[in-house]
Structures are given as structure tokens and as C-alpha cells.
Amino acid sequence: MVAGALLKVLTIARRAISVTLSAMLGAVAGSIAFFGTALFTASVTVLVVVGALVLLTVSGGLAYLSGRGGRRPLLLSCGVASATLVVVALSAALTVFKPLGFEPAPYGSVDGGRYWDLPTDSRVAYEFFPAAGAGETPVIMLHGGPGAPATEVAKEHMARAVTGAGFDLYYYDQLGTGRSTRLEDVRGYTVERQVRDLEAVRRETGAEEIILIGGSWGAELGAHYMATHPERVKKAVLFSPGALYWPDVPAPEDEPAAAEGDSTVGHPPRLLAWYGLFFVNPEAAHNFAPDREMDGYLDAALSNRGLSSAVCDPESLESSVKRGGSGWYVSNMTGGTHDNYRDPRPALRRTDTPILIMRGECETVPWAVAREYREVLPDSTLVNVPGAGHLISVERPGLFGETIGALLLGEPLPLEPYKGDEPPRFGSEARVSAHNPGLPSRPADRPLSGPGRDAPAESAGLGRLDGVEVAQETANGRSQ
């Protein structure tokens, strides 16, 4: 009797294990089918249907095979398959298919609602800050990211420095960012497209030559543009630059580490599913999670608290300030095209454009990157900014503006050039001049609304924040 009871228990246990394995393997097979089908279609509906059919077939088939020695194996098969589908469907509805819940943060209105309809088929929003008696060479400001537009405060601080020096300033939201067009086919976000857009913007200004000011990714974009159109750039400021050519990024060297990041956004299952689809088919990922949802997620990830590792002093960031206008898909897609875009360094070695390179004391991008800019660009000057990280204008807005104004006017820089090959050790290498480190006192042609002269500015261009532990790591493995 005892032996019979034990045998019955073992039989029930074996069948329970078989049923559980059938359900688990069916769920795994359905998930693989869901992502694998994205190789052939971008329709999320088709992905779900194929995944569900495979789940039913595998879980039901295995349950049938395991139950052939018992009663009603077909009924067992249908029950296991149905139950597995219900459990997986409910789990997916509550996790993978549940929207992230982020809405795009408010983004400052574009001055006058101005737009350029470029011949590249890009529609970009822009702002124009005129200077009284401006020269014939306008300044174009390139924000970072890709996909991280400048804040209103950053634009106003930049406008004070540029227009105060007597130069007109143009700022535009790059394609896929801010108030500019989002593409239906996200594969259109490429480095080449951004370079063509910038040349089209230059034509819209009517200027034969321009001055570029770009931060982080904006510095990369400026470098790629100069490699393609060297005759169009009179001078440039490249601050907190990202790598010139990503397939050949210089190795990090021993240097001071930035503050540890404090992310406000995690990696929910829906985001992990998005990454899986993105690697297989970006269009399927776009259909799965549309622009509005993912732009809102990136806004949250790029909040000031999430960027705390990009500055020397995290206390300089107000955690309540949120960033708006972010472009998730342009960020991921443009970053993914770096490896397929031509190396700009051979062309840049032949340029004679005066370039100012600015790098912060607590910069998270390896020192070797900024040094490579200095080595590749023949007429370049590298200065190190004490008390600042990747977001120079956050922590040193006055010195940032003063340095830009000095370059535009051909005046002595408030920071001494750094010519060493080793990572700078701050103290004697980067000495601030006796000048007032506040914003330039040169009068602007018109008052600009916003904070006063001593208020901290936000980044003029958030960009490729290597080491920043925000959850918006790009799908190509590089952080913003």
C-alpha cells in the first residue's frame, strides 16, 4: 500500500514537472518567435500573433507528449497551452506592453514659431538672436545628444555671450529633436543626414561662412561638417567633445573620476523588450514604442539628477528641473551610424580653421579624446576648465561665456592653453585670469528674459555622457 501511494505521488510529481516544463518552454519559444519574426516584419500585431501561435504549439505539443501515458492527453495539452497563453498574456500586458508612463517634459516655445523646410526633407525649428551691428559671419549653435536640445536658460546664456560680442546667433533643433520633425522611418537618422541638414541651415542663413559652437555630440557634428565643408567654417568652439571617430576611440587614461551617477529612471521590462526589437528591426521597435512615449522617457533620464555624474559638484544641479524636447530615436539611430560613416580625421588634418577646444576638470569622456582633437586639428587650442565636468555651462556659466566672447572678438582667452600630453592635473595647468569670471559685460542689443547674470546656466548641449548612469543607454552600447 505504501509503495503504491509513493508511486502515485511520484507519477503526479513527474507529470507536474512535465507540465511546468512544457509551459516554460512554450513561453520561451513564443518569445523567441516574437523577436525573430521582427526580421521579416515591423508589424507588432504580426509579432504577437506569431508568438502566441508558437507558444500554443510548443507548450501544447510538449504537454501532449508528456501525458500520452495518462488519461485524455489531448485535454491536458489544450489546458496547458491555454493556461500558458493566459498567464503569459497577462504578464506581458502588465509589463512589456504596459506604457512606460512618461510624457515629454514641456519644451520652451520656439521664437516666433520659426521653421526651416530644408531641401534635405527635414523640417527644423530654429531661433534667431540678432546682435546690433553684427558682422557678416553668423554663429550657429549645435546642441548635444544626439537628441538632447539646449534648454532655454542655456540658449539665453549663449546668446548673451555671442550677441554681446556683436555676432548674430542661430540655434536650431536638430532633426528628431525638440520641435523639429520626427521621421516615420527611423533609419533616416544618420550622421550624414545631420551634416547635410547643417549645410542646408548654413544656406538658409545666406552666409558664405559660419562660426560653429558645438558641445559634446554637437562638437562631433561640427567636426564632421568641417571635414566635409572646410571652406564654410571661419572658426569654431568645440566643448566637451565626443570621439572624432567611434570605431577608433582612444583608450581611457588615468585621470580623476567624475562623481557617481544617481539615476532616477530604471530599466523596466518594456525597455528591455524595446532593446531586443531594436537590435533586430528598428522599425518594429518604433511601432512597439512610439516617439512620444520614448521621448518622455529620455526627458526623465536626462533630468538634472540623472546627470549628476556629468559635473564636478552634483549639488549644482537642481533635481526639480526637468529636460524637455529629447529625441529617443534620433539618439539611438544616429549613434548607431557612426561606425558606418567615413573617418573625418584625414580631412580635418588638412584644415586651417581656428578651433577652440574646451574640456572640464571632471570630464567623463576620456582625456585622450580631447587630446586627439588637438592633435588632428592643426590650428586648435585646448583649454581646461577648472570646477566643471561635461556640462561646463552648468557649473561655470560665466567663464564659459567669457571664453566664447574672447574667441569671437580675437581677445586673449581667460584660460591658458594646455599643451601637455598627459591628463591635466588641476592647479597650475588651468589658471583663471584676473578677469571677472562673470558673464561678459558687453551690452547686448536687446534684453533677454530669464535668470540674472550670476544664475547658473544649464548645459548648452547635453551630449554623449560616457559614464553617466542614466537608463537611456543607447542601443548601440554607448551612453548619451
Pick from 37, 61, 94: which residue ends a domain? Answer: 94
pLDDT of 342: 84
For residue 427, pLDDT over 60 is answered with: no
Q: How far apart are CA 355 and CA 413, in angstroms?
A: 13
**Residue 8 and residue 52 in one domain:** yes
Whether 99 maps to a domain, the answer reads no
Q: What is the pLDDT of residue 465?
A: 30
DSSP 199: H
Express each pLDDT in 272-311 by its tens digit: 999 999 999 999 999 999 999 999 999 888 875 556 777 8
Report how far residue 440's alpha carbon sits from residue 443's, in angstroms, rounded to the nearest whole number. 8
In a domain, 106, yes or no: no
Residues 295 and 181 in one domain: yes
The verdict on residue 210 lying in a domain is: yes
266 and 314 share a domain? Answer: yes
Residue 302 lies in a domain: yes
Which of 227-236, 338-347, 383-392 is predicted least confidently? 338-347
Same-domain status, 74 and 126: no
**One domain, residues 66 and 115:** no
Domain that holds residue 134: 111-409
**Residue 415, C-beta contacts closer than 8 angstroms, at least 6 positions apart:** 383, 384, 385, 399, 403, 430, 431, 432, 433
- E strand intervals along 224-340: 233-239
CATH classification of the domain holding 242: 3.40.50.1820
Please report the pLDDT score of residue 154 as a whole number: 77
Place of cell 539628477: 305
- At residue 265, does pLDDT exceed 50? no
> What's the rounded mean pLDDT across residues 455-472?
33
Whether 117 and 90 share a structural domain? no
Structural domain includes residue 427: no
Using DSSP's 3-state secondary structure scheme, residue 129 falls into strand
Q: Considering its fold, how many domains does the chain have in total?
A: 2
Domain boundary among 59, 94, 129: 94
Q: Which pLDDT value is given to residue 453?
A: 27
Global pTM value: 0.81
